[in-house]
Each structure stands twice: as structure tokens, then as C-alpha cells.
Amino acid sequence: MDTLPQAYRFWNRAARRLLLVLTALGVLAALPLGFVRHQMEQKSKTVEFVFDYRDLLLVASYQAHPQQFMEEKLALLKEAGVTTLAVFEGSLDDFARAGRITVYNSMQAALLQGEPAPADENYTYVLFADEKAAEALEPLFRRAFEASGNAVRTWSFGGKPGLVLETSVEDAQLRPMEPDPLTLEELAAAGFRLLPRLTDRIRPYDPDLMDEMLGRFAELGVERLLFEGTEATGFGDQAQMQSLDHFASLLNKYGFGLAAIENMRTPQAGFATLAFKTDYDVVRLYSLSENDASTMSPAAIADRFLLAAKDRNIRMFYLNAAPMRSASKPTITDPLDNLVAALDGRDGEEGAVAKLERFGFKAGFAEPFDYRYEGWQKVLRAVVALGAIAIIALLLDAFLRGFGLIAFVIGLVGSAGLFVLSPSLLEQALALGASVAAPTLAVIWALGRVRAHTEGDRRPVGGFGDADPAGADDERLFGGRWLFDGHPAGRRLVSAVFLFAVTSLLSLCGTAFVFGLLTNVTYSLVLQQFRGVSVLHAAPIFLVALYVFLYTGRSVSGQLRKLLRLKVTVLGVVVAAVLAGVGYYYMTRTGNSGQVTSIELAFRNFLESTFGVRPRTKEFLLAHPLFVLGLFLSFRYRAAWVLMIAGVLGQLSMVDTFAHIHSPILLSLIRCLLGLGLGLIIGLILIALWQLGEGAWRRWALSAKGKRRSA
């Protein structure tokens, strides 16, 4: 009769051992992949400061002497560390602000010539500043407006050449044209590198024009392009003309790379395709808004740039500016001097250029990641994927005893099918599953060790435990004892620290599946992102809570019946509402969209300046200390097992830290270790406070008992 159960237990134990071995192999295979990523991140350490030239034109247009103002500010910006100027496609407004043209409508042109206003005419009259401007810009105007069906004819006044554009000024101002060739030459001659900002508004896509324009850029020393708007150049006509493919071929022909703007709400359509076709010659760019440029202090701007370079692998910093009304006096102000001070320093404070250089980031021209993807990496990634399937199967086996091997086989078949459909979706799914499984299993293991030292080792070899405790009281929620004796405080402290260390190590092993599977450079460039952050933040908490309440009693079905029979009280409803509110707040703080208060932001800045690397607040200030305290108390009080649920928050947070692939992998490791160290210290302080409070309570209880006896 016992033959079948014994055979089943034997094969079940063997299956768990196999899954544990495959999981360990997956972790080991991920380590070389993590080292390769670390090397890639260390080789790209040059930062580039870019200023928006169109903004400078706009600010200068509010000055009494615009040209003189621009010359002075360009010299200051260059001296402060700005090496590159962003230039845009041309427009009537840009050419007018640059002093190349003067624009009139039909009525204004008639008044200028002393003639009556023409009836039923609303044209645009353009007067060039000189023959040089006319020679350079007239071909641009004719190509842009004749392609749109607007007639263009010559016109002159006062000896200056001009054009009549048969459309309204309002319409003409919206028409995109090629960048001003005269401005490009002047800025290049002044020693600035150019960063052209192109759009997809010049339609239909003109292959010859684009080839000519990019060739001119190459002659001026351009090495990188930046797109403006929601679409990359060529995207709109891709279906009819394969324009995006043609534009990619031109980028390769002239050796141009791209810049990717950080934190765009919607990725620019077509950008990922161009990045792929140019072998990911892409640099990440942080844009400082006009408002921040005006309101932030120079020191705060410098700190923000340092944080972006150090924590998010940003290598280009884009400076915006805008004229603003002064709040204290009747004048127009601008942030140019503030930006110069932020880069160069002010009043003895270190500027962004010097601060970044002190951290190993030299000012110059940004370079793309020097990544290598070799054949042996594919083999290691396959092993990591196998380990991820194994650890997910172990998680299922922890809740469905004996299902591990079946789950592993199903996972293999499903992964093979998903690989055919979408390899990137497979790697993200496995990374998410493994990132949920690792901290969950680690905390369940810690709970199992606590049970072994309190209720007795009731686990099958290699399992997580599901046998019935002896002497259980069926009427109690969990059954068994709620108070455990025979564990001195010193022994409980050593055990708690040991379990905290091992549990954290097991969770950190889970991070290997994240950086081992998501090794593609597209994740470092945020062209792809790790999906399922909300699942990672919620699933381990739910699973550990499920295990604590259902799997630590006599049986799962018995625990479930007891939970369903619990009486609903006002206090219970209040507690549930509070927990729901806390859970909602916690989930709203996950991901990149979470908001922080000014107090929390100041605290973060304090941590950053104190440690150089900011540990995650919820780890060292909340989850890790509660976990250490919970482990200590769990050896004496069964109710303290609930604190394991809070403990998993810190464990999953460490895995989530490595899910930020755009952050350097070494920095993520330092952040986790720093959080563990600080969390352990705070946890030990909580234990000391508990012991003091418990001792005081006992003395008070003994004193009260003695008084009752004497009375």
C-alpha cells in the first residue's frame, strides 16, 4: 500500500533537486552576461552639452541689439562647456529672427511701396536682407512652397531681392523648410558641433533632397541627429515609399548616429527601426526644460545632470531657454546666465562640468555603447532561460505540491512556442516570472526555517513543508502554539541575522535572471522596457500572504474554512480599509510615474549627497528593518510570522532595482547592498527597542502581580 506514495515522494524530491540545480546553473550563466554589460557601461563615459539655438534666437529677439546679444551669449556658453548647438528645420519665423528676411502680408507690402492695398489678395511677401541671403535661401523657399502647390514669383524693394509666396502669412509660417545653410556654416566656423533636429513634416519624402541635406551636414562635421515631434523622418511615407528604410541607408552612408530623448510619453514612431538599422548607434539625452532652467539653482541643475549620468546612463544634456516676464520688475528675463553658472560653477560651487569629471565623466562628444553580442552569449542566455523556467516551476510546486516537474515541462513547450512568435516577449515573460519567484521563494524558505525551529521540521526533503503540526487546536486560526519557549534572545538574534542574510542572497540570485535575460542593448537605451513592474510589486506580497495564512496551519482547506468563518467586525472593516489604502498608495508609487513630495525629494537628495548612491527608502527604512524584527520575533511569537509579508517588500524591491536596465548594473548592486546594510542596522535597533520594551513590560507585570498578592 505504501509503495506508490513512497515512489511518488521519491520522484517528487528528485524533481525538486533537478529544478534547484537548473536554477543554480541559470544564475551562474547570467554572471558573465552581467559582467559584459558592466564593461559596456564603463566604456562610454563622455558627456556632451547641447544648447537649443532656436531658443537663443527667441531670447535675442527681445533684446535691443539681438546680434550683439547672441554673440556674447554664444561665447559664454562655449566657455562654460557647451560644445554643440541644436539647429532646426527652417521656418519663416526662424529666418526672420536670424535677420535673413523680413516678412510682410499683402497690405503691409502695398503700404511699404506707397500703393493701395490689393483687393482679394492675402499673399506673403518675403524681402531678403542681402544678395547672399537671397542666393542661399531662395532655392529652399521655392522647393518648399512649389512642392505644396503655391506659386512663387520674384519681387524686390529698395534694391533688395524678394519673393512673393501665394499663400497667407499664417499658412507660410507653418511650412517646414531645410535648415538655414548660412547659420549652419557660421556656427560650424565658430567651433560648435551641430545637432540637427529633423521632423517628418516635409512630405512627401524626397530621397534626393534628403541625400543632399545629409551630405551637407556631413561636410559640416555633424555626427548625430535628433528628431523633433512624434515621428522620425521617413516614417509617414514608409508604407508607400519605404522612406524609413531609405533614410536609414543615408544614416549609414554618412555615418550618423541618433539621440534618444529620455522619458518621452510616447516613443517617436520609427525611431526603434532606425536604431536597429544603424546598429544602435544611439546616445540617451536628457532635456532640461525652460522652466527648470529658470527656476532651479545652478547647484541643483549640476546635481541633476550628475544623477542622470551616474544613475541613468545619460550622455547628452540638452539645455532649453525661453524669455520670461520678471516677477519682481517690469522687464524680460532669461535663464542663460543661470545655465552658464550651472555648467561653470558660481560663488565657489562646483559646476556640472567639473562635478561630472570628478565622477569620471569627461566633457566632450557623447559616444554610443560599445556593445558586443557574440555567439557564446546566446548559449548562456539559453541556460538562463532554462533556469528561469525552473525557478518558476519551483514557485508553483511550493503551492501545488508535486506539480513542479509538470510545470517545468509545460514551461519548456510554451517557451519554445513563444520564442517562435516573439523572442523579446519570451525573455520579458521569463524575466518577470523569475523576478516574482525568487523573492517569494526566498521568504517562504525563511518561514520554513522558522517553523523548523519552533514547531519542528515538518518539511519533506527538498520541499517547503506542508505536513500537519501535532497537537493542533482546530478552533484556532492556525492551530498549534502561538508562543514558543526555549529560544534565548541571543540565539534568536543570531538566527534572525543569518536568515536575513541568506534570504537576501537568494533574492539577489533572482536578479541574475533579470540582467541575464534582458541583455539586449535596446533595454539599456530604453528602446524596450521591462514590462510588468506592477505585477512584480504585487505578486510576491500576495503569494507570501497566501502562504502565511493558508499553508502554515494543519491543511490548506482547513485554513480556508476558518478564514471564511471569521466574524466581520467594525474593527476588521477599518483595518481592511486602511490596508487597502496603503496598498493603493504603494501601487501608485511603483514604476517611473510615481510622484514624490518635496520633503521626500529633499530626503533623497540628502541620501544621494551622503552616500553617493541613494539606497531605496522603502528597503532600508521600512521593509528590511521589519523583516529583521519579524525574524527575531518569529522564533517566540507565531503572530510575528505576518511580518514576513512586509519582509518580501524589501526582497522584491531589490529585484526591481535590477529591472531598471538603463541604470548601471554596478550601481544597482551597490544600492541593494547599501539598503541591506542600513536596513540591518535599523532592524537591530528595533530589536533592541523591543527587548527594552518587553523587559519593562515584564517588570511592570511582576510588580502589579506582587501588589495584588500583598493586597
Q: Quote the percentage of the chain above a pLDDT of 70.
A: 88
Q: Picking from 229-243, 554-568, 674-688, 696-710, which range would have the lowest pLDDT averaged per residue?
A: 554-568
Domain count, the chain: 3
What is the pLDDT confidence band of residue 462, given thresholds at 50, 70 and 90? very low
Residues 60 and 97 in one domain: no
Residues 124 and 250 in one domain: no
Any idea what DSSP says for residue 349?
B
Q: 3-state DSSP helix/strand/coil percent for the chain, to nearest 5?
A: 60, 10, 30
| Sign of the torsion formed by the C-alpha atoms of 12, 408, 503 and 506 | positive
**Domain coverage including residue 197:** 46-89+178-363
694 falls within a domain: yes
Full DSSP string of 202-271: S-S--HHHHHHHHHHHHHTT--EEEE-SSB-TTSTTHHHH-HHHHHHHHHHHHT-EEEEETT-SSPPBTH
Residues 6+ apart with CB under 8 A from 332: 62, 323, 324, 325, 326
pLDDT at position 341 over 60: yes
Cell readout for 405 is 516537474
455 falls within a domain: yes
Full DSSP string of 46-102: EEEEEEEHHHHHHHHTTSSSHHHHHHHHHHHHHHHT--EEEEE-B-HHHHHHTTSEE
Last residue of a domain, one of 158, 177, 196: 177
Residues 262 and 276 in one domain: yes
pLDDT at position 254 over 50: yes
**For residue 69, what is the domain's CATH number?**
3.20.20
Q: Strand, helix or coil at 626?
A: helix
Residues 83 and 197 in one domain: yes
Residues 59 and 138 in one domain: no
393 falls within a domain: no
Last residue of a domain, one of 142, 161, 177: 177
303-312: pLDDT as tens digits: 999 999 999 9
Full DSSP string of 336-348: HHHHHHHHH-BTT
296: left (phi over 0), alpha (psi -120 to 50) or beta: beta
Residues 140 and 282 in one domain: no
Do strands 224-227 and 332-333 pair parallel, antiparallel, or not at all (unpaired)?
Answer: unpaired
Task: Please state, in angstroms and rounded to a whole number, the distance separating the CA atoms of residues 185 and 88.
Answer: 14
What is the pLDDT confidence band of residue 327, given thresholds at 50, 70 and 90? confident
Q: CB-hemisphere CA count at 13 Å for 538?
A: 15
506-525: pLDDT as tens digits: 999 999 999 999 988 999 99
297 falls within a domain: yes
The label of the residue with cell 478564514 reads 563
517 falls within a domain: yes
What is the pLDDT confidence band of residue 628, given thresholds at 50, 70 and 90? very high
pTM: 0.86
Residues 339 and 213 in one domain: yes
Last residue of a domain, one of 177, 203, 230: 177
What is the pLDDT confidence band of residue 459, given thresholds at 50, 70 and 90? very low
Task: Please state, in angstroms and rounded to a whole number, the distance separating the CA atoms of residues 198 and 219.
Answer: 17
Residues 219 and 117 in one domain: no
In the predicted model, what is the mean pLDDT of residues 596-617? Answer: 71
709 falls within a domain: no
In the predicted model, what is the mean pLDDT of residues 529-547? Answer: 90
Residues 210 and 112 in one domain: no
Residues 6+ apart with CB under 8 A from 297: none
The residue among 371, 649, 705 whose CA lies nearest residue 525 is: 371
Adjacent-strand bridge partners of 50 = 84, 318
Q: What is the overall mean pLDDT for the chain?
A: 88
417 falls within a domain: no
Residues 71 and 23 in one domain: no
Task: Please state, in angstroms and rounded to a whole number, the distance separating the CA atoms of residues 591 and 603.
Answer: 19
548-561: pLDDT as tens digits: 888 887 777 777 77
661-687: pLDDT as tens digits: 999 999 999 999 999 999 999 999 999
